[in-house]
Structure formats: C-alpha cells, structure tokens
Amino acid sequence: MDPAQLAEASRSLEGRPAPEVLQFAMATWPKTAISTAFGPEGCALVHMAVQIKPDVPVFTVDTGFLFPQSIELREKFVAKYQINLTVLTGKVSMAEQERLYGIRLYERDADQCCALRKVEPTDRALDGLDAWIAGLRRDQGKSRAGIDLLERYEHKGQLLIKVNPLANWTRKDTWDYLLKNEVPYNPLLDEGYKSIGCWPCTQPVGAGDGERAGRWGGRKEECGIHTFMQRKG
C-alpha cells in the first residue's frame, strides 16, 4: 500500500472490532508479529490473535529486571495457549552493562538502560517483518493519543507497518475482555499497579492516577520501544 491507501484503510477500520483489524493485518501482511510485555492489553491481544491464527509469531523482551509475576504470566500463556513465542534479551549482558555503565544505571540514566535492555532487542525482532502489531491505546497517555490503527514506518531501509488494533479501546474495554474470556493477567494489577515494566522503575499508584504514572517515577512515559522509529505516515 502507498501512504494514501494505508491512510484510507486505517480510516475504514476505525470503529471496527479489534479482531477484524487483526484479521485484516494478518491477511494483508504475511510477515506479521505481535510484541507484548504481557500487560493487560497485550494479554487481550495475544488471546484474540491465537483465535484467528494459532501460530502467529509473538515476541517479548526479558530485560533482566522483570518481576517474578511477569515471568510466571509469560510461562502461563505458553502453557495455556501454546503461543509461538520468542523471548529476546539485550546484546549487552547485564554484567557487561554494569561494567560499562556502573550498577543501577536505571537510577542515573533510565533512557540508556531502556535502550540497552528493551529497545535494542525490539529493534532486532522487527528485522524482516512486514507488520508489527502492538497493544497501544489512545487513552493511555499523551504520548499515545495520536496513534492510528495502521501506521507507516521505515525500519533499516524497509517499509514496516505498525498495527494498533486496540487504539480505540478504553481501560474498561480491556478489563471487560480479560474477565469475560478468563484470560490470565499479572496479579500485581490487583495490588495497585496499573502498568508493569521493570521492577526498579515500576511502582503502584493511587486510584486516581494515570496508567503510566507508576513508571520511571513520573520522569517519562515511554521506554523508547514505541518512539525509536520515526513515523512516515
């Protein structure tokens, strides 16, 4: 699709159920994969996708700083849904990172830590893909308010389509889906956490706080996975 065709396809999918957006993407772009950190949206998206294509590729990043509950949830998804999962880690090992940058880099330079532990392996995971499916919602925060269902990027000189099937969902929509379909989710979400990443940079928040308020002590909203590439349309 050229940019105009992609924009028209994105507009035509607005208001359609998320499974239809998923089905469209997987039928249109053969080399498609889902990324997830097994947050609520990712859990809903993976559950939805395997109903359409059981062997759809799914990738996740293990930063070395994951909560034990996050690892247990990942393993539960593999056991329950037999998902086609790839777990990636950074090329720079934790020991090498500490040698190069010192211990507790996340306290001094969270952007650098995220770049090494999260962005770099995600960048590799996108190699060779036609489309990348992510579980972003517009109402999660200012940094995501302008996302479209279909977006055009260039990755290492190749066209890459980013698909956001849950763009129009709310937090309530997500939880309604999880509970209705008995989809497993991270138990930390019942303990005051609204968004879960690495344990050093994730805190529980108050009932009235935004979903991303508990990440990085409020210093930033994004780790870089969804901002390291420049959108082309």
* Whether 59 contacts 135, CB under 8 Å: no
Indicate if the alpha-carbon torsion angle 23, 227, 57, 198 is positive or negative: negative
The answer to whether 201 is a known catalytic residue is no
Per-residue tokens: 101: 């940058």
* Whether 126 contacts 154, CB under 8 Å: no
The CB-side HSE value for 50 (13 A sphere, CA atoms) comes to: 18
Per-residue tokens: 161: 């389509």
Give every CB contact of residue 11 below 8 A, 6+ residues apart in sequence. none
Q: Residue 225 and residue 202: Cα distance in Å, rounded?
A: 17
* Whether 34 contacts 164, CB under 8 Å: no
Nearest of 168, 169, 159, 152 to residue 9 by alpha carbon: 152
Q: Choosing from 114, 198, 201, 223, which is the catalytic residue?
A: 223
SS3 81: helix
E-strand stretches of 44-127: 57-61, 84-88
* Whether 226 contacts 41, CB under 8 Å: no
Residues annotated as catalytic are 223
